[in-house]
């Protein structure tokens, strides 16, 4: 096995909360609790979980847009938070991000040429205006846009076309990793399929690795090779996407899959889980214990470690 493209090692992230007392330190909210994972080149890696579980926080830390409280993140063996800013700036051309909302992620005052060329101007050496324009036109064609649209503005495009512009902006530096944070959730279902197929075609062409952050399990199942399930900042299950979806081991993973609508009444799962998240300060047991329908005594006393069970890694005493 070669070196992974991305290695996240025991990452914690705390955010300060407003002070509740003049004489006490400000409380903190822990968004990530010791997350570790590895992503190989050319692999699509999904990260799923409910809103507020830490998916986007993890994405921002991998992109070096936020600093972890503790832990390390390596890209191609380089510690992103222990290298000079100049080296980090040079390294950034190799990992780019596509955001959720194509309406707000594009500057309405800039035309398509300036939007797509922005990473070139910021992260790469100076190139001639002619070569820059050629590179932009080639990238636009690769994402299925008309090269004659180079002087148009974002408001002149549909939502799906705007997301293609955002993908072109991420692709322009020829990165080896693209982090897609809910990148198709704002699009119509038919347009989602077109954009997802485009991303898969680009992956095959350029051996791209994706980190796909999403709450839409059908999208994750379609596009990813591996998946990690996060609950309250902890990875509770991880493995090949096909294995996790075919035979989920953690009760939380089962809950997420059971929540996916199914038109067949015989296949609808009647299993009930509590929907209210109860967070107890300094809790020592499993964080899911208060919502789990198969919890036993040990679940309240001991937090399970992420260990190999069957084909997956799972953090559950009773998996």
Let me know whether 119 and 34 are in one domain: yes
Let me know whether 36 and 92 are in one domain: yes
Across residues 23-51, what is the average pLDDT?
A: 92
φ/ψ region of 42 (left if φ > 0, alpha if ψ in -120 to 50, else beta) reads left
Report in angstroms the alpha-carbon separations of 64 from 80, 105, 164, 196.
7, 18, 24, 25
- pLDDT at residue 24 in the model: 84
Across residues 270-294, what is the average pLDDT?
A: 67
- 173, pLDDT greater than 60: yes
Across residues 27-32, what is the average pLDDT?
A: 91
CATH number of 193's domain: 3.40.50.300
When the pLDDT of each residue in the chain is averaged and rounded to a whole number, the result is: 87
The residues, ordered by sequence, that sit 6+ positions from 36 with a Cβ below 8 Å of its Cβ are 8, 9, 10, 11, 235, 306
Which band of pLDDT confidence, cut at 50, 70 and 90, is reported for residue 281? very low
Let me know whether 172 and 287 are in one domain: no
Query: What's the domain range around 226?
Result: 6-246
- 271, pLDDT greater than 60: no
pLDDT tens digits for 74-90? 999 999 999 999 899 88
The tally of domains found in the chain comes to 2
- pLDDT at residue 278 in the model: 53
- 309, pLDDT greater than 80: yes
- pLDDT at residue 274 in the model: 54
The angle formed by the CA atoms of residues 245, 221 and 5, to the nearest 5 degrees, is 105
Let me know whether 117 and 261 are in one domain: no
Percent of the chain's residues with pLDDT above 70: 92
Contact between 317 and 296 under an 8 Å Cβ cutoff? The reply is yes
Buried b / exposed e across 54-91, counting CB within 10 Å, b at 16+? bbbbbbbbbbbebebeebebbbeeeebeeeeeeebeeb
Let me know whether 15 and 136 are in one domain: yes
Alpha carbon 90 to chain centroid distance? 22
Residues 219, 196: Cα–Cα separation, whole Å: 8
- pLDDT at residue 240 in the model: 96
- pLDDT at residue 270 in the model: 52
């Amino acid at each position: 096995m070669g070196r992974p493209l991305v290695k996240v090692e025991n990452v914690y992230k705390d955010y300060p909360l407003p002070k509740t007392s003049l004489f006490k330190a400000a409380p903190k909210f822990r968004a990530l609790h010791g997350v570790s994972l590895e992503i190989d080149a050319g692999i699509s890696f999904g990260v799923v979980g409910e809103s507020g579980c830490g998916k986007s926080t993890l994405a921002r830390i991998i992109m070096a847009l936020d600093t972890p409280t503790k832990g390390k993140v390596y890209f191609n063996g380089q510690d992103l938070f222990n290298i000079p800013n100049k080296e980090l700036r040079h390294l950034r051309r190799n990992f780019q991000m596509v955001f959720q909302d194509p309406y707000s992620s594009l500057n309405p005052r800039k035309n398509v040429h300036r939007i797509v060329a922005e990473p070139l101007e910021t992260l790469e050496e100076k190139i001639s205006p002619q070569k820059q324009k050629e590179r932009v036109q080639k990238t636009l064609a690769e994402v299925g846009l008309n090269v004659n649209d180079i002087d148009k503005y974002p408001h002149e495009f549909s939502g799906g076309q705007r997301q293609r512009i955002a993908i072109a902006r991420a692709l322009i530096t020829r990165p080896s990793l693209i982090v897609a944070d809910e990148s198709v959730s704002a699009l119509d279902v038919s347009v989602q399929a077109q954009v997802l197929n485009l991303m898969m075609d680009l992956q095959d062409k350029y051996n791209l690795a994706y980190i796909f952050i999403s709450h839409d399990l059908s999208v994750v199942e379609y596009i990813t090779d591996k998946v990690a399930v996060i609950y309250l900042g902890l990875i509770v299950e991880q493995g090949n996407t096909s294995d996790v979806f075919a035979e989920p081991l953690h009760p939380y993973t089962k809950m997420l899959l059971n929540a996916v609508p199914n038109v067949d009444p015989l296949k609808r799962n009647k299993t009930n889980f509590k929907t209210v998240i109860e967070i107890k300060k300094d809790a020592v047991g499993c964080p899911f214990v208060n919502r789990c329908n198969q919890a036993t005594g040990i679940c309240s006393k001991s937090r399970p470690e992420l260990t190999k069970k069957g084909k997956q890694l799972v953090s559950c005493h009773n998996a």
